[in-house]
Amino acid sequence: MPDTQPHSAEQQAMQWQAILSSDLLSDSQRRAFEIWLAENQEHAAAWQSINTFWTGLDELTLADISDQDNAQVLEFQPPQPNKAGPRYVKTGLAIAASLLLTLSLFYHPLGFYLADYRNSVGRQQQITLADGSGILLNTAGAVSIDFSGQQRTVTLHGGEAFFTVAVDRKRPFVVETEAGRVQALGTAFDVKLQDGHVSVTVFEHAVKITNADGQIEQKLAEGERLEFTRNRISEASPVNLQRAAAWHKQRMVFQDQPLATVVAELERYRPGKIFILSDAIKNLPITGVFDITDTDIALQSIAQSLPVDVRKIGEHLVLLSAK
């Protein structure tokens, strides 16, 4: 059950939303939720707010999506590690995880650290360019800006960014990545660069994509998404724009997503690593709305709604195992 003492009502509501969406929901959990909901008007209002966000995703406008919410932060105290078992086993696990964490800290190329704008993990930044265009830079993202009389170029060194482009017919607006380029043919689109793969989602009008090998997608239209690498461009597919833009409002939205997918997304918003130690839990389904500013809340909800133990080692390592 959610720890209802130190958390805000909205954070408790987020936890309840995840718990109630679980296939493993018990009668006692349902009763506890009903008691919590009836305790006061603040709980009822928070629950209505979270459900409005969830059920109203299909009705939000682009202006609504672009707004950012301020969120409170919760300190999550996870379950204590099981004291049973040989001490050297736990020590060896901690050392191995720490080594993997150390290796992961040096992943970014040099350009990332020399970028004009760079975000730390878990941070977002709104950038206004000289021409009036805007960039919402997501967690661990980095961009460099190069405007000339002939072209407006933004280089995405890593991470994810939402671009709103000011009209200038004499100077094309281009986003460069290691895998290729995205040229704006309209006003609003997302570009995400991760592990050499680029994902593009168009929110208004269209874009033109050219990968590093010269393959060209002439037009990716509004409401579509595709991925490309240096030598491949995938087929475009329709996408729910409101759910795709949840991160613009500092939210993560999951609907029947496997635990491994959710963990990969959570890792983007917290320093360190999350390791799933048991294959048996990787495909457990999760449905929920979580705050990207506090991934500990999401981890707590996972521990409470699924047969999963959550263990923290220091500040930057999290281990997930089957109960």
Nearest-CA neighbor of 244 among 223, 217, 266?
223
pLDDT tops 90 at residue 236? yes
pLDDT tops 60 at residue 33? yes
pLDDT at 146: 96
Tokens of 41: 């008007």
pLDDT bin (cut points 50, 70, 90) of residue 59 is low
Distance CA 308, CA 322 (A): 5
pLDDT at 24: 61
pLDDT tops 80 at residue 232? yes
Distance CA 243, CA 289 (A): 10
pLDDT tops 80 at residue 121? yes
Three-class SS state of 162: strand
pLDDT digits (tens, 9 = 90+) for 249-293: 999 999 899 999 999 999 999 988 899 988 899 999 999 899 999
pLDDT tops 50 at residue 99? no
pLDDT digits (tens, 9 = 90+) for 133-154: 999 999 999 999 999 999 999 9
Mean pLDDT of the chain: 82
For the chain, which domains are there? 9-87+250-322 (3.55.50.30), 110-243 (2.60.120.1440)
Distance CA 269, CA 139 (A): 6
Distance CA 216, CA 52 (A): 40
Tokens of 154: 């933004």
Q: Among the listed ranges 1-15, 36-50, 163-177, 247-261, which one has the minimum average pLDDT value?
A: 1-15
Bridge partners, residue 117, by sequence: 143
Across 64-93, average pLDDT: 39
pLDDT at 1: 54
